């Protein structure tokens, strides 16, 4: 029988929700023709904990506890967005030293988060060694987080007007030491994967998305910057002290999995630059600004966006007076990045779907909230 008369039908296969490559509990239904993906339907919500509803029944500060648990790889960055929103509503100005402490912690957190991404993407490609190297570096940073906030992941460290407690003695010296080690570690990681032939063939040209489509879907962070859009909230809408700091925004142009990886590797180096500048400039003084005794903002609303390791992290905070926020809406970067997954997976092979998903660096706690 001639091959063109052979009838074939598309097959629908399920991936997840407990697939190890989905970095959490995420399910997608793929429609495939042989090994090629025709369409993909993502299903989320397995980790939905009602963060927004719970926040309406929390004090303004205890909302932070839930925020740490949304994007659990970048707790400081989440707290940053919310605290800026709260301070704007309160009309509170944080102390100078606190601003520096916050930026230092956020940028260290960015490195730690990207290290996690690096290790996981390598593991997705079948390279397990980079994972161990990444965790060695991440562990150094976790040590700093623990020294400063007392916790390794759920920090609850920022407060309106400042931070909970000052940096421990000798932090600046220890931080410089760690940064030197991490700098070396990043170069080492670079050598392991970036020019690896197998890794390149698994990532180059895979899961590409055009800049126009990425903008249309509301992608942000390294996903958008890998498409050649030079957009970084730290530059386009500087918050905290980022307008005083000197750093570059890495951009790549083909929008594929490899470029997303390269952008993140460079971002880690830029974060180190930022932290080093902060360590040079950090002033002495109080770690808390002048704050009213009761956190009770006037009625009003504010939308604040910050640059999370995963992208544009927005907090829409509404107060109508009283001790509790009226509404807290979280604009999660992964939520929007995941919408574009369908676009990226078109015409990929099934095996590549794991790499593409890994390159999005999703944290399901933040997608599902």
Partner 1 sequence: MTAEELRPEASKEPASQPIADEVKGEAPSADAAQAPAARPRAAGRAPAGPPPGQQAPPTADAVKLEAIFKEILGEQAMKVEYNFGELVLTVLPEQILEVCRIGRTDPRLDFNYLRSLSGVDYVTHFEVVYHLYSLDKLHKITLKTRISHEEPEVDSVISVWSGADWHERELAEMFDINVKGHPNLVPLLLDEGVDEHPLLKSHPLVPMGEDRPGVITDLGESDWMGYRASGGKE
> Which residues are at the interface with partner 1 (CB under 8 A)?
44-45, 48, 50, 52-54, 56-57, 88-91, 213, 215-219, 229, 231, 236, 294, 296-303, 305, 312, 314, 316, 318, 320-327, 329, 331, 335-336, 338-339, 368-369
Q: Which is nearer to partner 1, 44 or 148 (CB)?
A: 44
Q: Which is nearer to partner 1, 241 or 302 (CB)?
A: 302
Instruction: Quote the least distance from Cβ 26 to partner 1, whole Å.
Output: 13
Strands 311-319 and 300-308: antiparallel
Q: Which is nearer to partner 1, 250 or 314 (CB)?
A: 314
Give which of 145, 107, 96, 109 is closest to 281, Cα–Cα.
96
Instruction: Quote the least distance from Cβ 321 to partner 1, whole Å.
Output: 6
Tell me the β-bridge partners of 316.
303, 329
E strand or H helix at 213: helix 211-216
User: 311 and 227 in contact (C-beta within 8 Å)?
Assistant: no
What backbone torsions phi and psi does residue 347 show, to the nearest 5 degrees?
70, 15
Q: Which is nearer to partner 1, 152 or 290 (CB)?
A: 290
Instruction: Quote the least distance from Cβ 130 to partner 1, whole Å.
Output: 32
What's the per-residue H, E or C state across 118-175?
HHHHHHHCCCCHHHHHHHHHHHHHHHHHHHHHCCCCCCCCEECCEECCCCCCCHHHHH
Instruction: Quote the least distance from Cβ 361 to partner 1, whole Å.
Output: 18
Q: Which is nearer to partner 1, 268 or 336 (CB)?
A: 336
Instruction: Quote the least distance from Cβ 55 to partner 1, whole Å.
Output: 10
Instruction: Quote the least distance from Cβ 81 to partner 1, whole Å.
Output: 12
Strands 162-163 and 158-159: antiparallel
Can you point out the beta strands (E) in the chain? 11-15, 27-33, 36-43, 158-159, 162-163, 300-308, 311-319, 327-331
Q: Which is nearer to partner 1, 52 or 166 (CB)?
A: 52
């Amino acid at each position: 029988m001639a091959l063109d008369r052979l009838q074939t039908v598309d097959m629908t296969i399920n991936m997840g929700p407990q697939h190890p490559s989905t970095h959490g509990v995420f399910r997608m239904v793929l429609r495939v023709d042989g090994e090629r993906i025709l369409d993909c339907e993502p299903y989320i919500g397995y980790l939905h904990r009602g963060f927004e509803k719970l926040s309406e029944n929390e004090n303004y500060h205890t909302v932070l506890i839930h925020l740490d648990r949304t994007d659990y790889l970048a707790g400081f960055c989440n707290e940053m967005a919310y605290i800026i929103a709260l301070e704007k509503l309160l009309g509170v100005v944080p102390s100078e030293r606190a601003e520096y402490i916050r930026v230092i912690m956020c940028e260290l957190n960015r490195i730690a988060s990207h290290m996690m991404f690096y290790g996981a993407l390598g593991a997705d490609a079948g390279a397990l060694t980079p994972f161990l190297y990444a965790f060695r570096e991440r562990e150094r940073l976790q040590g700093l987080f623990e020294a400063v906030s007392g916790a390794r992941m759920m920090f609850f460290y920022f407060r309106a007007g400042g931070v909970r407690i000052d940096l421990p003695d000798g932090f600046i010296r220890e931080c410089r030491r760690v940064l030197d080690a991490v700098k070396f570690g990043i170069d080492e990681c670079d050598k392991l994967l970036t020019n690896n032939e197998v890794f390149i063939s698994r990532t180059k040209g895979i899961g590409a998305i055009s800049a126009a489509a990425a903008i249309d879907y509301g992608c942000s962070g390294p996903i958008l910057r890998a498409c050649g859009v030079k957009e970084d909230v730290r530059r386009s809408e500087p918050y905290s002290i980022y307008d005083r700091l000197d750093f570059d925004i890495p951009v790549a142009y083909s929008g594929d999995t490899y470029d997303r990886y390269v952008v993140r590797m460079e971002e880690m180096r830029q974060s180190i630059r930022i932290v080093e500048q902060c360590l040079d400039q950090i002033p002495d003084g109080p770690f808390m600004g002048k704050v009213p005794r009761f956190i009770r903002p006037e009625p009003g609303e504010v939308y604040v966006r910050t640059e999370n390791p995963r992208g544009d992290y927005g907090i829409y905070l509404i107060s109508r007076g009283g001790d509790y926020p009226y509404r807290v809406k979280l604009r999660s970067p992964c939520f929007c990045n995941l919408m574009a997954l369908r676009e990226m997976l078109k015409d990929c092979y099934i095996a590549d779907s794991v790499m593409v998903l890994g390159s999005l660096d999703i944290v399901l706690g933040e997608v599902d909230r």
